[in-house]
Structure 1
């Protein structure tokens, strides 16, 4: 399997042009804060000083996890397919927020333990009816992992527009994400494991033990793709593939919460430059996400205590991308507005 090569976005001359364009707007220097950094990042990704937010879309990948057999979720596995039905009926939070922000939404069956049949609005990329229980055996074979990655890459190639948001649904997937984080970062299981769908303190401690024991059981696994196959989910692998291809195509990656960031962690181990293309939507309320963002050197745009998944944070951060693009493209300069001189950093 070919992993797409991702070029770093660093470009000294363009960086200087973007800084000049931003600093010449009718405002005190630096007064738009993080929006200025975001506008510069968009320009570097798109290689222009006139950026666009073109046909943004959010991909929501759904799959089931065999590790639920270990009692690590407060909800039964059937909730995965029931929530997919909710997405298809336009009844979930992500439907509301995507519609509110004029964002296309695509729902993908990456490996749900349910037969949906042919359904309008559902992309069938099912690899299998959920993964194996990674407390006992690898979650998926190397071939199934490669298939999931390739499906994700193909989706990113076929997607119009230049902004891709990521979301997920899968009972048990915070356990998978925590195991990936524990293995790939070396952080303790306790630092990586959280309440997920609402575990009690005793449930969280049990989940920690499951993750720690599983990672110890598969101690010989080292390479990122092997780690993904051993502890990941089909939705996580498919997201990682879509992220890699989207960044290769110089699209903006809008990263949601803990599970999406765990997919990015794997992708970044394969192609570190992918982080240049990432806009981190928010810091989740799920325990472990703040530390994982820190490990990736990420600065999230929002901190709303969200821990829903589905790509909801991606949808809520999308207006900030529009704001960054619009001020860069539409805001007057000192010369065009006939305002005398640049305003100082602390002018007011």
Structure 2
């Protein structure tokens, strides 16, 4: 099997050497080029035609964001960003997702991370997975305007008869490719939506706040990072903070957010499984669960519990639009999915379940 060709872009010679040594240890990858800045990267992409690229943001002459914009327009390739955990770094990471980056790895200690070894395995795994992504999927331009929903009153009800007045709850799980997928879904939901939304996006601490802020500025609904102890409300989307599991518990005031730092599940904290399992225990509430793009199978065990308890409908993103068809595929194969939808139809499908 042919090794996937990798281009490493970083202005630090030390970082280029370190990243090369990490990626060269993978039997699936071959580093075919090193670039010092964005301009150098564009030239080398046209010469070497890599399958995947790692891209630093802060570089002289042409920074990573400037380069990424040109690359995605002229010669798009799957890209993994290397980001710092500063406020500016997290903001730039969100901009990179808008431009078409697949995923990112947070540098443990700034621009030149002597301790990059901490994220070695994460970096290798993400580059390997990104190298398999079809270029047609990262080039795809999704609609930004709000979709026109059908009149749900004229449709056959999706939940049992007589359940119109029961409370509803939406929960969403996603990973690689998730920021762009969330943007597509959340911007298409009306501010009048009659349910709260709980979201787990695999992302480390420090980055989820920037993602929530970004989604909030472009959505009709309110999007925020979930806070421990708050009572969830209709029309608001709550994003699990990086590094914390998100669950809910029933109180006299309503459903309360619970955040904890219990061990990660399958390498993830927050975990989609843990959110879905928590929601499965809620009584007298109908749940709409959505599983979207991401590697692995996080979410499937939680969906099994949701379906066992009843009062749940599950929507999975189709292979056609997934950046990585891991999480939805696992759920579909477990026979816990009611509908498989293209990304641009998921919001419409969600709304059909709500009164």
Q: TM-score, normalised by structure 1?
A: 0.30
> TM-score normalised to the size of structure 2?
0.30
Structure with more relative contact order (C-alpha pairs < 8 Å, separation 6 or more)? 1
Of Structure 1 and Structure 2, the greater helix share is in 1
Which structure shows the bigger proportion of residues in strand conformation?
A: 2
